[in-house]
Amino acid sequence: GTVIRLEDYRPSDYLIDTTDLAFTLEPEATTVRAKLSVRRRAGVAPDTPLVLDGDELTLAGLKVNGETPAENGYTASPDRLVIGDVPADETFTVEIETRLNPSANKQLMGLYRSNGTYCTQCEAEGFRRITYFLDRPDVLSVYTVRIEARTEDAPLLLSNGNRTESGRLENGWHYAVWHDPFPKPSYLFALVAGNLGVVRDTFTTMSGREVALEIYVEHGKEPRAAYAMDALKRSMKWDEETFGREYDLDIFMIVAVSDFNMGAMENKGLNIFNDKYVLADERTATDADYANIEAIIAHEYFHNWTGNRITCRDWFQLCLKEGLTVFRDHEFSADMRSRTVKRIAEVKLLKAHQFPEDAGPLAHPVRPRRYSEINNFYTATVYEKGSEVVRMIRTILGEDGFRKGLDLYFERHDGEAATIEQFIKAFEDATGADLAQFALWYDQPGTPNLTVSSHHDAGPKRFTMTIEQRLTPPIEGAPHAPMHIPVKFGLVSAGSGDMEWTAVSGAEVTGDVIHLREPKHTVVFEGINERPVASLLRGFSAPVTLFPEAEDADLAFLARNDPDEYGRWQALSTLVTRQMKQAAARSADERGEVFDEETCAIFMDIAADDSYEHAYRALCLTMPGENDIAREIGNDIDPDTIHAVHRAASRQLGRFGERIFARLFHGLEPAGSYSPDAASAGRRALRNIALSYLCHGSQDTALAAKAFAQADNMTDRAHALTLLVHLSPRTDETIDALKAFQDEFRNEPIVMDKWFTIQATAPGAETLETVKALTGQTGFSWDNPNRVRALIGAFSAGNPTGFNRPDGEGYQFLCQAIGRLDGANPQVAARLMTAMRSWKNLEPGRREMARKAMEGLSARPRLSRDVRDILDRTLA
Ligand code: HT7
Ligand code: ZN
């Protein structure tokens, strides 16, 4: 396949100043008429052909400056329209007619139908499936869109911007015209037409303009959009208060659809959402669902400035909009909820998804330099690590410097398609800082390792810390250059509290940040009377792996005494992970207890300490997952051993803390009616984790069965059902609970997704048979991405023992599923394939099985570019 390279970027020869589209919507034969006003860029030779992108298109008509061109004046194929015979004038018009079949579009890119609603998905390269165009983000155009449809089928006709006209036509048809005054790239175009219910509200902006807010959902589901609306209004206010960003159109619309490849899409003024990130009430959504809805509503809304007003010059700059917007949504959630709790959750997610990506065959820089399929680069590295890089800029420049830089970026590049270099330059120019070395974070893949050793000299009252950074392995033979790594820290004294020092040398230290710039620093602190314990990487100030010399005793000390709350969690988490890893290295016979007494005692002291927030205690009590332990072990992974250790650890803690867990479980019974706010969610989280330990400790799920029956909200219900299915899969109680859940929710697909996922993640080799059977269950559909992810995605990425069955049948099943899906929806198929990204870390038997399954898939004659790309890189 063709590889696209960053260094080959050059501006287009032509620009498209305005784009007038007219859609005549028919389920199987939609007509699109596009009228483009084209302008040749200054300096481009007048006979330069105009080359427009297409994808599976049929040309039904073409005019240039109002005239049909001669047959040899152009060539049209499904993926390209080349107009060789272009007018000599600098500007001219091109009129293109294409025919589409939205009902047959199962890729869910371009114009398609979801449950009878017409909708579009154009990022990254979906617009070229609608009409021939310069489908690249640096071609900004002003759109006017006319939509015609049968009134009965589609009473609702939406596109970007403001509605300027609407009315009736003959034969039961009607039309609407939308005009978006903001020039935009084609990937932000959207159209929705159908019959949907609506929730309306308004927002008054900081300058006093009233904006109409509309959320469209299936009829009857309007009440379930209330939380999304509330989150939207809070997002709009927050962006004004935090970053001075005001909304710019008179209307902001969100449409929820049930067939969607990703989470949501930030189309200008008309966001389209996967319905699972809009719809929520206590009966159907968990606290985690609410938190996701809040974050994704905010994320898409924030794109209006970071993505839409300032967009990307090319797709290599994807992190320019995504990393920055993730950072903004993280900050929003931190302000809406508890900052430490939010940060811990982010770090857990980063380590679970981005670290393995960066450590395996799919590693790539935050700003990749080449791709063969751009859809495969909507990754944890671009999004999550991209956000961490922005966070580090803030850590380095401080709040004020960061805000100044961002203001300058908005001021300079509003209305433009920008690059990472321009982003960095805005921060440099606003603050005078030199970020040249820092910018390596965008270009060098891999997670840097920091190795730390230290000693204290009582005589001269000196504390010395040696910190080395290493990036392994170097890519393409080129040695890695050392990075600028900001390490937030404190030197914690035995008497508690952070110590002061009189002088420091060996590295630049500003406030509580050590700036690492060399491969090795020997940092010397003067005036340190007693041996401190260094608390490093507070708030996870850089996305690195820390190898602390810290003994268990020092970690235990920090877990109890670090003045920094995040630091306490981090110390406990490191300690616990280390002891689980050590237990996995011992043979089953001599394994004994997983945790030492002191570690158990720390757990319980946190569990019992009412001065902490509930949510924080719940996070501290949550053990690292099986995949987390696997990542720490690194290679020769045997998922069964890790599972056994995990179970033993849960049992040990459950027994050790039985009294406290019982007190928590009974003491935190729901008081009053359900509320999704962070404090109430934290309370439920702590109570539910106590329930888990009680079940594990007693090896009895009777309490879970009772909790399932009594639950008055989905958070408690889904948690109890998970315990039943995962701990006692074959009991009558479990079977009855599954049945009750199915009976209640069989007509609510996004709720049934939980039912599929809970079963797909039940540990053990037998689950594969369950998953296979569930693919035949009514309610499952290979065409719907949410269903596929809930069942197959959850099984392959969230069931280490089931998926990694020693006989390799799990891998065979996944590869067959991918083969089957690939014909219809390559994007979803390719995403599923990433479950294999850590296969090289497995023990040799499973590794061989995994390779065989992938090679079998690879031998298929017709694989999409999407799957081929992931497969080739994974196997390489
Ligand atoms: N910017 C959006 C990305 C997206 C997308 C990309 C490829 C194919 C389908 C897609 N749907 C949405 C989502 C976001 O980051 O906000
Ligand atoms: Zn985004």
Q: Token digits for 460?
A: 């001269």
- Ligand 2 centre distance from Cα of residue 574 (Å): 31
Instruction: Give the rounded percent of residues in the chain with a pLDDT score beyond 70.
Output: 99
How close is the Cα of 142 to the center of ligand 2, in Å? 22
Q: Is the pLDDT of residue 11 over 80?
A: yes
Task: From the CA of 266, give the closest atom in ligand 1.
Answer: 16
Nearest CA to ligand 1 atom 12: 265
Identify the nearest ligand to the CA of 124 by its number: 1
CA distances from 294 to 138, 225, 322, 754, 846 (A): 30, 11, 17, 19, 40
The yes-or-no verdict on residue 1 having pLDDT over 80 is: no
Hey, which of 135, 261, 265 would you mutate to test ligand 1's pocket, going by the most ligand atoms within 8 Å of its Cβ?
Answer: 265
- How far does the centroid of ligand 2 lie from the alpha carbon of residue 378, in Å? 9
Residue 703 pLDDT more than 80? yes
Taking residues 738-747, what's their average pLDDT?
98
Ligand nearest to the CA of 274: 1
- CA 271 to centroid of ligand 2, rounded, Å: 11
Q: Kindly state if the Cβ of 378 falls inside 6 Å of ligand 1.
A: yes
Asked if residue 473 has pLDDT above 70, the reply is: no
Q: Is 148 in the pocket of ligand 1 (CB under 6 A)?
A: no
- Kind plus residue range of the DSSP H or E element containing 91: strand 91-100
pTM of the model: 0.99
pLDDT at position 301? 99
DSSP state of 179: E
CA–centroid distance, residue 123 to ligand 1 (Å): 6
Q: Is the CB of 299 under 6 A from ligand 1?
A: yes
Instruction: Determine whether the shortest distance from the Cβ of 814 to ligand 1 is under 6 A.
Output: no
Does the beta carbon of 300 lie inside 6 Å of ligand 1? yes
300 is catalytic: yes
- Domains of the chain with CATH codes: 1-195 (2.60.40.1730), 311-442 (1.10.390.10), 449-542 (2.60.40.1840), 550-699 (1.25.50.10), 746-876 (1.25.50.10)
Q: Give the tokens for residue 364.
A: 């790539």
Place 549 in a pLDDT band, splitting at 50, 70 and 90: confident
pLDDT at 768 over 90: yes
Ligand 1 atom nearest to 262, measured from its CA: 11
**Which atom of ligand 1 has the smallest separation from the CA of 375?**
7
- The answer to whether the CB of 124 is under 6 A from ligand 1 is yes
Give dist(CA 831, CA 864) in Å, integer. Answer: 12
**pLDDT tens digit string along 616-664?**
999 999 999 999 999 999 999 999 999 999 999 999 999 999 999 999 9
Select from 270, 319, 378 the residue to mutate for testing ligand 1; criterion: most ligand atoms less than 8 Å from CB.
Answer: 378
Which tens digit of pLDDT belongs to each residue from 122-162? 999 999 999 999 999 999 999 999 999 999 999 999 999 99
Handedness of CA 796, 798, 802, 808 (dihedral sign): positive
Q: Look at the alpha carbons of 796, 799, 800, 802 in this order and tell me if their dihedral is positive or negative.
A: negative
Q: Ligand 1 in contact with 322 (CB < 6 A)?
A: yes
Residue nearest (by alpha carbon) to ligand 1 atom 5: 123
CA–centroid distance, residue 136 to ligand 2 (Å): 17
- pLDDT band of 475, cuts 50, 70, 90: low
- Across all residues in the chain, what is the average pLDDT? 97
Residue 583 in contact with residue 645, Cβ under 8 Å? yes
Q: Which atom of ligand 1 is nearest to the CA of 326?
A: 15
Can you tell me the mean pLDDT for 520-532?
98
Ligand 1 touching residue 321 (CB < 6 A): no
Q: Which atom of ligand 1 is nearest to the CA of 299?
A: 16
Q: Is the pLDDT at 540 greater than 70, yes or no?
A: yes
Q: What is the pLDDT of residue 477?
A: 59
pLDDT at 225: 98
pLDDT value, residue 476:
58
Query: CB within 8 A of 686, min separation 6: which ones?
Result: 614, 615, 617, 618, 621, 664, 668
Q: Mean per-residue pLDDT for 791-812?
A: 98
Mutate to test the pocket of ligand 1, among 55, 121, 123, 329 (most ligand atoms within 8 A of CB): 123
CA of 457 to the centre of ligand 1 (A): 55
- Residue 123 in contact with ligand 1 by CB distance below 6 A: yes
From 125, 300, 346, 384, the catalytic residue = 300
The per-residue pLDDT for range 310-354, each reduced to its tens digit, is: 999 999 999 999 999 999 999 999 999 999 999 999 999 999 999
Ligand closest in space to the Cα of 185: 1
Q: Which atom of ligand 1 is nearest to the CA of 303?
A: 16
Own/partner long-range contacts of 787-790 (Cβ < 8 Å, ≥24 apart): 787/749, 787/753, 787/756, 788/817, 788/821, 788/828, 788/832, 789/753, 789/828, 789/831, 789/832, 790/752, 790/753, 790/754, 790/756, 790/757, 790/760
pLDDT at 520 over 90: yes
Beta-carbon contacts of 803 under 8 Å, excluding residues fewer than 6 positions away, are 768, 795, 796, 797, 810, 811, 814, 835
Both tokens of 475, joined, read: 């890519």
Distance 56 CA to ligand 2 centre (A): 26
| Neighbouring residues of 325: CB distance < 8 A, sequence distance ≥ 6 | 299, 302, 303, 306, 307
Q: How confident is the model at residue 474 (pLDDT cuts 50, 70, 90)?
A: low
Above pLDDT 90, what percent of the chain? 98
Give the ipTM of the model, two decimals please.
0.98
